[in-house]
């Protein structure tokens, strides 16, 4: 499988389909066993977040490893351990415990497509040209600085619309690499800790389109390209077995990193899709099934594809549906009149 990302600049990704995405890391809000009043507040923040997103956004909840040394380092930051030997002993014991437990956390990743504007037709053509250059082993063309700055300003507007408690932080190229590797190594327990990123404040972020130097443009050639094997067909002992096997008997995906310098083994991944929710709605609080995933005892990543429509778009669709309904009513009324006349005769 070819990597869908062909170019990166700051927290922007140019894909092979011509769409430009802005990636952010979101801070989770405290929820847990808090009173219903606090849960209502958190729910309101999430509603505001969804309403602020344009188009078909993508929200990911990724299980990430946590370096025990990083946890203990936060425990001793700003302290002189010579003055508190008991606390030093406690930190040492904590480090040993965390090494045995293998702590982790959930990373919340938001990807938002940016409006193409005048580049609506140019970007797909540029993406096709990039694929042709790759096929011919030619260098990839760069991205104009003015275009990078324009998309960065759009990304800053998206970040400004996200409720402040989520503290949106622009993703870095190292974090994008981490996400790609994580998707290919699920279940192998090879994840490193998520690389640290810059501050989300545009005044302190040199990658911001509102000030400072523009980020360095780079290609997506460094992103690994795995082999995807649906149902693990390559594990069959013979070609005949592969042809006669029922694909429904092996509902999993085998992901093999064929281009890896050091073989790491294949990752076998199963995917579940939520098809529907109760017609009468879901009880709140009490039905937050996404939050209960962490209690299942298995590391599970989840993804939400969000199609957000504006109130104007919904109102236009409702008006169109109302016109169609009135036309159908008029047609049916005419048919009924003809039927009544026939009965009278």
Could you tell me how far CA 42 lies from the centroid of its own chain? Answer: 20
CA atoms within 13 A on the CB side of 181: 20
The pLDDT assigned to 208 comes to 45
Shared domain check, 331 and 281: no
Shared domain check, 319 and 286: no
In a domain, 320, yes or no: yes
Shared domain check, 174 and 124: yes
Shared domain check, 294 and 186: yes
Shared domain check, 321 and 293: no
Shared domain check, 336 and 287: no
Convert the pLDDT of each residue in 165-205 to its tens digit: 999 999 999 999 999 989 988 888 777 788 887 654 433 34
Look up the domain containing 328 and give its range: 315-345
The pLDDT assigned to 337 comes to 59
Q: H or E segment at 52?
A: helix 36-52
Shared domain check, 170 and 120: yes
Shared domain check, 344 and 205: no
Shared domain check, 338 and 276: no
In a domain, 154, yes or no: yes
Shared domain check, 341 and 296: no
pTM reported for the whole predicted model? 0.80
Shared domain check, 325 and 301: no
Q: How confident is the model at residue 338 (pLDDT cuts 50, 70, 90)?
A: low
What are 246's two structure tokens?
Answer: 């029922």
What are 202's two structure tokens?
Answer: 């545009």
Q: What's the number of domains the chain is made of?
A: 2
Among the residue ranges 171-180, 207-216, 282-291, the one predicted with the least confidence is 207-216
In a domain, 345, yes or no: yes
Asked whether the predicted pLDDT for residue 11 surpasses 70, the reply is: yes
**Contact 131/7 with Cβ under 8 angstroms?**
no
Q: How confident is the model at residue 64 (pLDDT cuts 50, 70, 90)?
A: confident
d(CA 75, CA 16): 44
Pick from 172, 161, 154, 148: nearest CA to 25 = 172
The pLDDT assigned to 211 comes to 46
Average pLDDT, the chain: 82
């Amino acid at each position: 499988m070819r990597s869908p990302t062909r170019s990166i600049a700051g927290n922007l990704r140019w894909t092979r389909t011509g769409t430009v995405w802005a990636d952010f890391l979101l801070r989770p809000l405290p929820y847990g066993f808090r009173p219903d009043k606090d849960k209502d507040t958190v729910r309101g923040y999430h509603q505001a977040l969804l309403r602020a997103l344009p188009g078909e956004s993508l929200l990911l909840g990724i299980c990430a490893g946590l370096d025990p040394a990083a946890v203990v380092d936060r425990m001793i930051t700003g302290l002189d351990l010579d003055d508190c030997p008991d606390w030093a002993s406690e930190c040492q014991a904590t480090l040993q415990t965390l090494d045995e437990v293998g702590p982790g956390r959930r990373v919340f990743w938001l990807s938002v497509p940016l409006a193409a504007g005048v580049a609506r037709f140019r970007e797909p053509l540029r993406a096709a040209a990039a694929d042709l250059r790759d096929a011919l082993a030619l260098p990839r063309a760069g991205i104009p600085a003015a275009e990078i700055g324009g998309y960065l300003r759009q990304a800053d507007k998206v970040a400004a619309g996200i409720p402040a408690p989520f503290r949106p932080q622009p993703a870095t190229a190292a974090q994008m690499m981490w996400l790609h590797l994580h998707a290919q190594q699920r279940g192998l327990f090879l994840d490193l800790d998520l690389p640290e990123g810059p501050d989300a404040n545009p005044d302190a972020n040199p990658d911001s389109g509102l000030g400072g130097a523009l980020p360095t443009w780079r290609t997506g050639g460094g992103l690994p390209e795995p082999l995807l094997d649906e149902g693990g067909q390559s594990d069959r002992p013979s070609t005949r077995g592969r042809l006669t096997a029922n694909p429904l008997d092996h509902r999993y995906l085998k992901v093999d990193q064929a281009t890896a310098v050091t073989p790491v083994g294949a990752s076998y991944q199963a995917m579940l899709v939520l098809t529907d929710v109760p017609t009468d709605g879901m009880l709140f609080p009490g039905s937050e099934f996404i939050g209960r995933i962490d209690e299942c005892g298995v590391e599970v990543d989840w993804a939400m594809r969000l199609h957000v429509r504006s109130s104007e778009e919904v109102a236009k669709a409702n008006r169109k549906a109302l016109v169609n309904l009135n036309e159908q009513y008029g047609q049916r009324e005419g048919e009924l009149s003809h039927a009544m006349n026939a009965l009278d005769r």
